Each structure stands twice: as structure tokens, then as C-alpha cells.
Amino acid sequence: MEKVLNFKQGRVPLLISMPHAGLRLTPAVQAGLIPEAQSLPDTDWHIPRLYEFAAELGASTLAAEYSRFVIDLNRPSDDKPMYVGATTGLYPATLFDGVPLFREGLEPSAEERATYLQQVWMPYHQALQQELARLKAEFGYALLFDAHSIRSVIPHLFDGKLPDFNLGTFNGVSCDPTLASQLEAICARHDQFTHVLNGRFKGGHITRHYGNPTEDIHAVQLELCQSTYMEEFEPFNYRADLAEPTQVVLKQLLEGLLAWGQQAYKK
């Protein structure tokens, strides 16, 4: 496998995870994809670019290099379903629209997929776990922000149009409730955008598995509508004119995380 992740260590107790930003494919996946999937439409497009400002805040960042069509880093290794109803698994079999992802008989083999688990999924989660442990050891607590984006209208997955900002804390389990309330309040100040807490997207495996307030690790997922910063259909162009106002809110959310941590854990 080629390089599987891009990690940059920061200087504050915040890690931003970007598990669905990857664009690389393995030869087996590339060969089997249906034509409609060749453009990787279900990618969390441009997320590293959208969060470039995180370096100024001193946050650590961890981004995937391989596409979720190879293996989904935000699913558990045992592939237990995360959501009721239509969803995708550890090894996606369909596009978000419900169309089969691979041409018949050309899915990667069980042996191929075992390799993806060992050489793509495991390194990402090891890096994530190690950085959270480092942050907790240095600061006494760790903050995890799992950054995602998705097309705003996908009838196969949800009804109507998603709110622009979809915060998820696994129904209050993955972070302190006062932190979630403060992040909601930040979103509410920007009435040009819509938002929800624990709506259709409550947080995937990363938020649920690593968020543990009793152990001083607080995790939040943000599923952001792609209409807030890019063109949602091929060629999936980044739109700086849309992205700049969205980045204002994102920066305030991350600053809010850090401010909450400083207040909650002040000596």
C-alpha cells in the first residue's frame, strides 16, 4: 500500500480527524467500480483544504489518503451496522444513492479486504488512538473533532434536505453536554445556516468509540452539507466564495471546543 494517512501534530489538546477525505484506490477496487463511481462521488471533498486554518489554531490533524470505497475508516472493524435503515458498511457495497458500487463479480476478494483492514484501517486508528493518548497525557484531557461532509440531498439515505451543520455526539454520550450546548449556540448565531444536534447523523464509529467524557476524552462529529462550500456534483469544484463564510463558523466551533476545554479543566 502507498501512504495511507497524513498526520500533523499540533500544540493544543485538539485532534481533527478526516476519515473520508481520501482519494486513492487500490488496483482491485479501481478495476471493479461501476462507471458512475469512478469519480468517487461519495468522498468528503476538500475537507483538508476547508480546515487549513486549523494549523493556525494549533490543532493536530489526521486525514485519510485512501477512499472510503476501499475501506470505511468510520465503521467498526467487525462491520456491525451503525444506523437503522439505509447505510454503508466497512466495505461499501453501494453508492449513497443505493446503486451497487462494483460490477457484478468484480468486488475485491476477502483476502484483498483483509489487507485493507490491516494496512489502511488499523494504521489510521492506531494514529488516532496514539494522538488522543498523547494529548491526554500532556493536557489532562483530549478533544476530538471528526470532520465530514455530504451532499445535501440524498433521498436513499434521508428525507428532504439536510441542515447545513449536523453536529453529532451519539445522543450526548461522546462529550460533555455543556460542550454540545455551546457548539449549538455557536451555530445558532449564524442564522444564514441551519443546524441540528444528533439528527440524522449522530456520530459514526470514531465519535462513538473514542468519545469518553468519564475518561476526559470528548468527541464531536460534524457532518457538513457540501452545498456550504463546493459544487455538489461532478467535477466537485471547491467554491471559495461559499467556503469563506462557512469557515468562519468552523473556526468558531473549533475555538469554542478549545475554550470549553480550558474552562472545564482549568487548574
User: 197 - beta bridge partners?
Assistant: 167
The mean per-residue pLDDT over the stretch 94-114 comes to 95
Q: Where are the domains of the chain?
A: 5-261
Is the bond preceding residue 123 a cis peptide, omega within 30 degrees? no
For residues 153 and 226, what is the distance between their CA atoms, to the nearest angstrom? Answer: 10
Chain centroid to Cα 91, Å, comes to 16
**Cβ of 160: how many Cβ atoms within 10 Å?**
9
Residue type, 26: T
Q: How confident is the model at residue 110 (pLDDT cuts 50, 70, 90)?
A: very high
Residue 82 is predicted with a pLDDT of 61
Kindly tell me if the per-residue pLDDT of 85 is higher than 90: no
**Chain Cα centroid distance, residue 102:** 23
- What integer is the mean pLDDT of 228-244? 97
pLDDT in tens, 33-65: 999 999 999 999 999 999 999 999 999 999 999
Confidence of residue 148 (pLDDT cuts 50, 70, 90): very high
* Torsion, Cα of 234, 199, 261, 125 (10° steps): -60
User: Would you call 224 helix, strand, or coil by DSSP?
Assistant: strand
pLDDT-based confidence at 80, cuts 50/70/90? Answer: confident
Model pLDDT, residue 116? 97
Query: CA 55 → CA 106, 136, 146, 239, distances in Å?
Result: 41, 19, 16, 21
Cell of 9: 501534530
What separation, in Å, do the N-terminal and C-terminal C-alpha atoms of the chain show? 45
Which ranges constitute the DSSP H helices of 81-210? 110-116, 122-139, 177-188, 205-210
For residue 83, what pLDDT is reported?
Answer: 59
Quote the CATH superfamily of domain 5-261. Zn-dependent exopeptidases (3.40.630.40)
At 89, is the pLDDT very low, low, confident or very high (cuts 50, 70, 90)? confident
221 or 156: which leads in pLDDT: 221
Which residue carries 498526520 as its cell? Answer: 7
Assess contact for 140 and 171: CB atoms under 8 A.
no
pLDDT of residue 105: 94
pLDDT at 25: 97
pLDDT tens per residue, range 149-173: 999 999 988 999 999 999 999 999 9
pLDDT at res. 88 = 72
How far, in Å, CA of 96 to CA of 83, rounded? 14
- What mean pLDDT is reported for the chain? 95
CA 191 to the chain's CA centroid = 24
Q: Measured between alpha carbons, how far is 52 from 48 in angstroms, rounded to an integer? A: 6
Q: What is the 3 state secondary structure string of 24-67?
A: ECCHHHHHHECHHHCCCCCCCCCHHHHCCCHHHHCCEEEEECEC
Q: Can you tell me the mean pLDDT for 5-20? A: 98
All cell numbers assigned to 227? 452545498
